[in-house]
Structure 1
Amino acid sequence: MIHYGLKGVTAAETRISFIDGAEGKLIYRGYDISEVSKRTFEEAAYLLWYGEWPDAEQLLMLKGKLQKGRELPGHVASLLKSLPREMDLMSVLRTAVSALGSGPPSIEEAIRLTAVVPVMIACRKAWMDNSVLPDSVNHLDHAEHFLYMLFGSMPTETQRRALETYMILTMEHGMNASAFSARVTASTLSDIHSAVTSAIGTMKGPLHGGAPSEVLSFLAEAAESSDMEELIRQKVCRGERLMGFGHRVYKTRDPRAEALKAVLLSEAGDDDWMKLSLKVEEASINILSELKPGRALYTNVEFYAAAIMKSMNMKADLFTPVFTAARITGWTAHILEQEGNNILFRPDAQYVGPWRVPNGHSSQQKKS
């Protein structure tokens, strides 16, 4: 029996996270995501890497290492500014990470990669905008520093908390395509930079890392419509997919969406895009229940991520790189776990091509 795309195949044991799609549960190292999302980025990253919450001294140590890791090597900075302007940001990021080096898997390298990738993104953005990359402000925490480097000004508390929550919620999600790609590369005993580069190349694909930009188009369409509810109604009647609703894994509410929504409800204030996302969600669910009784549909994390990023004036080309800056924490946790109990990934494939007889003529395809 062939499991196309390896769907339903268990290929490894993990202590990093657990997903229950039927019940809408996401667990990091034994803790429900609703609890983890209330912590800081640094605390959540420490949990994934070390398997437990940090005490005050351990947290201070991690913050110091993240701050030190923000230094962008000169040759990488030059590379970020020398690649063609038409090269998309994910391709630039993939190339820049591979230029960092070839160190073996270690928590030290995991911390360094997590710290420097946001700076890479900000450096490339500044060059593309013909502006100057701000000087690093070391006392800022991870998410706040990322926003400062991107835009050159201190973010509001709402922006800081919204981005931090998003990054915590998306830093890990089981054996997803990019995490699997990282583990396959790590299983060959390759270096951590190569494994992360593999993951970035996988994240770059629109079937994995591009969802928030599609949600943004839907929200923009709703914002410009004179009758938002009628717009949604027509989409449902035509059988169009409502972007930001539904998930391949979760058959009920996406717990990450619920946690992010909680932040929006408490922090949205007068932000038009955040308020719009709440209105579109309510209208979509009501209209769907009216037109298709018995069919439940829930928002996924990308739905609110798009609203948050738009509220910060992020352009669509930043969405997947920001997702990557968050997910690199989970990737490196998987790489370290793979190294700790390594078996080379080497699945079989069923040959379905022609079979040649000795005289060079084709025979009927061999049945298996």
Structure 2
Amino acid sequence: MNMQLSKTPIGLDGIPAAETVLSHVDGERGELIIAGERVGDLAGKTGFEGVTARLWSGGTGQPVGEAAVRAALGAGRERAFARLPDLLGITRGLSIVDGFRAAIAGLRAEAGLAHEATIVGAFPVIAGALVQRVKGNDPVAPDPTASHAADTLSMMLGRKPNAREVAALDAYFVTVCDHGMNASTFTTRVVASTQADLFAAVTAGYCALTGPLHGGAPEPVLEMLDAIGSTERIKPWVDSALARGERLMGFGHRIYRVRDPRADVLKGAIERLAGDGTDLPFAGEVEAYIRDALRRKNPDRPLDTNVEFFTAILLDALKIPRQAFTPIFAVARAAGWTAHAREQQRAGRLIRPSSAYIGAMPG
């Protein structure tokens, strides 16, 4: 048997799969640019509707304004609420994560309406309805005049959120709305490259997001903080985990070789929310010790804090159930997915990478 060992980079690392105007990740410098702005600057000057307008403008090549996006998303949430009986019909007995997948797969094109707004508008309505069902409550009707972040929280919590809560979730939405050619975005673009519609492409993107190596990390961060429990247990717990070779959730990233720039944006959002009882001091102590321990273990290339660490703390502080963390991530990332799908469709080229065959050759 003649086995050929490949020297091809596995996982397409460092191989461009598309040209895009939407976002850029520089892992060596710890920089994320979304629609021409560094993520920290962008989060300080616009909300979700504003960044969505930028992404959709870039993806479609047709300028769209923030006010138009706000109106379209509000109307999209209303239409999704009217369709909830159909959308939730096959989700009985499923978890929030799996029920969300089943429901978004039931979305469809609506004559004369933008598919992007139908998708992005529906996501928080579906997520909120699934959360309320777990609580034994009826779905909360959306308010089309509210911001996307405010309405998402209202439907999730069953009450009107305060201004600090809205600002915190809005900052999260802006921060995670797009992130280069990540696994779910790449999946979305592959499906869109076949000229399948946006609904198929985005459903595929969400399926990729549910994997624990992509969108499933924030909940284990909270489980880690729960297991540590108190300040005096930080050192022995972390040292023991590292000695066993365990992964510390919320640290390290496939792309970033330095600190994830999104971590500081979310940390700032949490600090502004801290008056609402957020336990940032303890989490901050855990983060500081883990960073120091990782530097000691691997001084040449230590792992640093990633976006999941502060995502977990922020979403928990907002009283969003842990089982809904992945759908909430999707509520934000849907803006990027839809923009990337449109951009890929405009390119008109099928994504069809080659593979490196390492099996047996015929004699």
The alignment's TM-score, normalised by the length of structure 2, stands at 0.89
Question: 5 Å matches for 1:22-41?
Answer: 22-38=28-44, 39-41=46-48
Q: Which amino acid aligns with 2:215?
A: G
Q: 1:182 is matched with which residue: 178, 188, 209?
A: 188
Q: Which amino acid aligns with 1:161?
A: A
Aligned residues: 352
* 2:117 pairs with 1:121: no
Aligned to 1:163: 169
Q: 2:97 is matched with which residue: 74, 90, 105?
A: 90
Gaps spanning 5+ residues in structure 1: where?
355-364
* 2:138 pairs with 1:138: no
Alpha-carbon distance between aligned partners in 2 of 1:211 and 1:202, rounded to the nearest angstrom? 13
The answer (yes or no) to whether the contact 2:32–2:38 under 8 Å persists in 1 is yes
Aligned to 1:344: 350
Q: Tell me the CA shift for residue 85 of structure 1.
A: 3.7
Q: Relative to structure 1, is the Cα distance of residues 257 and 85 closer, same or farther in structure 2, using a 3 angstrom cutoff?
A: same
SS of the residue corresponding to residue 352 of structure 2 reads coil
Question: 5 Å matches for 1:1-368?
Answer: 1-38=7-44, 39-51=46-58, 58-73=65-80, 76-102=83-109, 108-223=114-229, 227-269=233-275, 271-289=277-295, 293=299, 296-353=302-359, 365-366=361-362
The answer (yes or no) to whether the contact 2:81–2:141 under 8 Å persists in 1 is no
Q: Which amino acid aligns with 2:362?
A: K
Q: Tell me the CA shift for residue 350 of structure 1.
A: 4.2
The answer (yes or no) to whether the contact 1:170–1:323 under 8 Å persists in 2 is yes
Q: Relative to structure 1, is the Cα distance of residues 272 and 221 closer, same or farther in structure 2, using a 3 angstrom cutoff?
A: farther
The answer (yes or no) to whether the contact 1:214–1:243 under 8 Å persists in 2 is yes
Q: Tell me the CA shift for residue 233 of structure 1.
A: 2.6
| Cα deviations by residue, 1:318-356 (Å, 9 ceiling, x for unpaired) | 0111011111100011011111112111223344555xx
SS of the residue corresponding to residue 209 of structure 1 reads coil
The alignment's TM-score, normalised by the length of structure 1, stands at 0.88
Q: Tell me the CA shift for residue 297 of structure 1.
A: 3.0
Alpha-carbon distance between aligned partners in 1 of 2:26 and 2:173, rounded to the nearest angstrom? 20
The answer (yes or no) to whether the contact 1:85–1:128 under 8 Å persists in 2 is no
Gaps spanning 5+ residues in structure 2: where?
1-6
SS of the residue corresponding to residue 187 of structure 2 reads helix
Q: Which amino acid aligns with 1:48?
A: L
Alpha-carbon distance between aligned partners in 2 of 1:31 and 1:74, rounded to the nearest angstrom? 34
Q: Relative to structure 1, is the Cα distance of residues 84 and 117 closer, same or farther in structure 2, using a 3 angstrom cutoff?
A: closer
User: Computing the radius of gyration over CA atoms, which structure comes out larger, 1 or 2?
Assistant: 1
Q: Tell me the CA shift for residue 179 of structure 1.
A: 0.8
- Say which structure, 1 or 2, has more relative contact order (CA 8 Å, 6+ apart): 2
Give the root-mean-square deviation of aligned CA atoms.
2.5
SS of the residue corresponding to residue 19 of structure 1 reads strand
The answer (yes or no) to whether the contact 2:178–2:333 under 8 Å persists in 1 is yes
Q: Which amino acid aligns with 1:24?
A: G
Q: Relative to structure 1, is the Cα distance of residues 58 and 294 closer, same or farther in structure 2, using a 3 angstrom cutoff?
A: closer
Alpha-carbon distance between aligned partners in 2 of 1:297 and 1:61, rounded to the nearest angstrom? 42
Q: Tell me the CA shift for residue 205 of structure 1.
A: 1.7
Alpha-carbon distance between aligned partners in 2 of 1:92 and 1:203, rounded to the nearest angstrom? 14
Aligned to 2:4: none
Identity of aligned residues (%): 34
Q: Tell me the CA shift for residue 289 of structure 1.
A: 4.1
| Cα deviations by residue, 1:100-133 (Å, 9 ceiling, x for unpaired) | 21479x9921122111110011112222322022
